[in-house]
Structure 1
Amino acid sequence: MTLLGTSSIDVFPLALGGNTFGWTSDEATSQTVLDAYLAGGGNFIDTADGYSAWVPGNSGGESETIIGNWTSSRRNRADIVIGTKVSQHPAFRGLAAANVRGAADASLQRLRTDYIDVYYAHFDDPGVPLEETIEAFDALRTAGKIREVGVSNYSPERLQEWIDIATRRGFALPVALQPHYNLVKRSEYETGLAPVVAAHQLGVVPYFALASGFLTGKYRSEVDLRGASREQMANAYMSAEGLAVVEVLDRIATAREVAIPTVALAWLRSRPGVAAPIASARTVEQLPALLASATFELTELERSDLNEASARVNG
């Protein structure tokens, strides 16, 4: 376990992504995955109020509902750390104060709980004064509806502005950051966000940790991608340089007798400030390789080879 930033929240060093729940995994499969994750030592579940509104027939909040049904039926809420997000639910778009309050209450109802462990601003909302958003988050924390504040998809400048405003007003500082960060998407985080993270000791919880499946090794050509549920997202990483990273992952995984995702996630977990990469499992069979990353340690040479290959990717 590891502490999430400057908070007292202890998390397993692999967060289970809930974006598949109600999308590529039905409720029964999702609950089986959650059971297996908990049995494997996990306690950190990531979701958002907008998951999975993009699926035909869904309206948003399906993932939270499945998680809430699971914790309620298993009576394990006290053992689980839940992170969810606001700004993308079709009925609660943006970060105006009234919207933040309403969205939080709706998430609490779907999650069947009276508190959210980490509540993230999912995407920056430049149409709303940042101070208004921060004040709304702080009010939720004061009311006991959330334990800690997090931000996702913020620029370095806006993240620093959030911290500056919260410091000046005496509001709770964010403890967690969710950036897009992985072996084939490094430069934006490492050159801009990482210095802010280091200066304020934020816990980093990277999403797309496996690059929408690209870093699992199952997509080696555009033919492999055709018809996949994540075809469009994974295709964004397809390049000669990206495939070279996969080859290095494959070589290390073969030599160490582990799965490719284990190696990719272990690299990310070893990066400065990273508390827990987020990875999703559509089925229980995909979970062991993810869980193994929490304890798998790369050698210095293996890290160097991955760093060298990934540095050639324009991402």
Structure 2
Amino acid sequence: MKTIAIKGLSKPVSALIQGSDYFKPAVYDKVCDVLDRFMSIGGNTIDTAHNYCGGESEVAIGQWLKERNNRESVVILTKGAHPKGDGPRVNPYDIQEDLLTSLERLGTDYIDLYALHRDDTNVPVKVIIEALNEHIAAGRIKAIGVSNWGTDRIQEANEYAAATGLTGFTFSSPNLSLAKPNEPFWPGCVSVDETDAAWYEANQMPVLSWSSQARGFFTGRFTPEDRSNEDLVRVFYSDANWQRYARAEQLAKEKGVSQIQVALAYVLNQAYPTSAIIGAQNEQELMSCRDGAEIVLTAEERNWLECGKQLASR
């Protein structure tokens, strides 16, 4: 499987990242099946978070890591400082509390990729960068990043880090998909827009995309008339996205693949490094993702899928 490099991490990061927002010890057999299959196709990176399933996702992954005795061959991406009912939690105390809890649940003494799950623009980047660098110095974190931060704040944080000789953010995990959201799927979520894409390309910062396949929008199970999935309707149903759906269907037929594989290839063929977080729960879904990750799209094909700009051959 193709990989990308992230500064601060000696291990490569697989192009596909296995999502775990449904992992629990109660379904541990399924967790093992999913992770064992994922590793067997060359995947090595698992996405989780302090708040997934109330922490049970990290516990299940930790159990699997211990039983398989494979910690050094696995890249763990976990996230902390997600807001709670009493408000934002992006501060040194809550970052440390979440990080230490995640380490205990996962049964490890370090996190490969640690991301702040949300931003709080009321907190100066100086405070955040200095707090995270303390954990890097202590060996608890290899590389720091963000999830759902705007590129302006990432830029500000990295400029401060560079000016003070500290380590800055070396990856970002926003939503990136061929279907463009009408509104955030969850409050505080960030999706890559045209301005962001230009920034990521200029800085060549790796993007680890969540909802990379638009939560099944391109599976063929949905139509403009089928409005049974309220969240999908709210976030992804638009004339522009149905036009992208049609273009993905057309290109898929020409390439002899499925349209959801074309949608995945769109994410993995950007002008900056990308990996895609996937939610494959069975062998068929995983093989589809594996094959989709191998599809090569030209910049012209990618732009046509997104914007409908005419391909020279059409």
Name structure 2 gaps, 5 residues minimum.
183-190
Q: Do structure 1's residue 194 and structure 2's residue 188 form an aligned pair?
A: no
Indicate conservation of the 8 Å contact 2:154/2:169, yes or no.
Answer: no
SS in 1 for 2:209: coil
SS in 2 for 1:161: helix
**TM-score scaled to structure 1, two decimals?**
0.85
Report % sequence identity: 31
Equivalent positions of 1:1-315 (< 5 A) are 1-7=2-8, 8-22=10-24, 26-52=27-53, 60-88=54-82, 90=84, 94-185=89-180, 189-221=192-224, 223=226, 226=228, 231-233=230-232, 235-298=234-297, 302-309=301-308
Name structure 1 gaps, 5 residues minimum.
53-59
| Structure 1 residue 236 displacement after superposition | 1.2
The residue type equivalent to 1:197 in the other structure is: Y
Indicate conservation of the 8 Å contact 2:267/2:274, yes or no.
Answer: no
| Structure 1 residue 234 displacement after superposition | 5.5
| Structure 1 residue 204 displacement after superposition | 1.1
| Structure 1 residue 77 displacement after superposition | 1.2
- Tell me the number of residue pairs that the alignment of Structure 1 and Structure 2 aligns: 299
Indicate conservation of the 8 Å contact 1:16/1:45, yes or no.
Answer: yes
| Structure 1 residue 199 displacement after superposition | 4.0
Partner of residue 57, structure 1:
none
Distance 2:148 2:300 in 1: 32
Give me the CA root mean square deviation.
Answer: 2.7
Deviations 1:45-86 (A, max 9, x none): 11111113xxxxxxx212111211111111111111111111
Deviations 1:252-291 (A, max 9, x none): 3233332322211111111111321212113333111111
Distance 2:181 2:309 in 1: 8
Indicate conservation of the 8 Å contact 1:183/1:310, yes or no.
Answer: no
SS in 2 for 1:148: strand
The residue type equivalent to 1:153 in the other structure is: N
| Higher mean displacement: 245-254 or 137-146 | 245-254
Distance 2:135 2:197 in 1: 27
**TM-score scaled to structure 2, two decimals?**
0.85
Partner of residue 187, structure 2:
none
Indicate conservation of the 8 Å contact 1:149/1:176, yes or no.
Answer: yes
Deviations 1:144-174 (A, max 9, x none): 1110011111112211111111112221121
Indicate conservation of the 8 Å contact 2:129/2:168, yes or no.
Answer: no
Distance 2:248 2:141 in 1: 38
| Structure 1 residue 109 displacement after superposition | 1.0
Structure 2 CA distance for partners of 1:257 and 1:122, relative to 1, 3 Å: same
| Structure 1 residue 201 displacement after superposition | 2.9
Distance 2:297 2:201 in 1: 23
SS in 2 for 1:216: coil
| Structure 1 residue 190 displacement after superposition | 4.2
Structure 2 CA distance for partners of 1:19 and 1:139, relative to 1, 3 Å: same
Partner of residue 185, structure 2:
none
| Structure 1 residue 192 displacement after superposition | 2.7
Distance 1:305 1:195 in 2: 17
| Structure 1 residue 90 displacement after superposition | 4.8
Higher relative contact order (CA 8 A, sep 6+): 1
Indicate conservation of the 8 Å contact 2:219/2:259, yes or no.
Answer: yes
The residue type equivalent to 1:20 in the other structure is: Y
The residue type equivalent to 1:86 in the other structure is: G
Indicate conservation of the 8 Å contact 1:183/1:264, yes or no.
Answer: yes
Distance 1:240 1:181 in 2: 19
Indicate conservation of the 8 Å contact 2:180/2:241, yes or no.
Answer: no
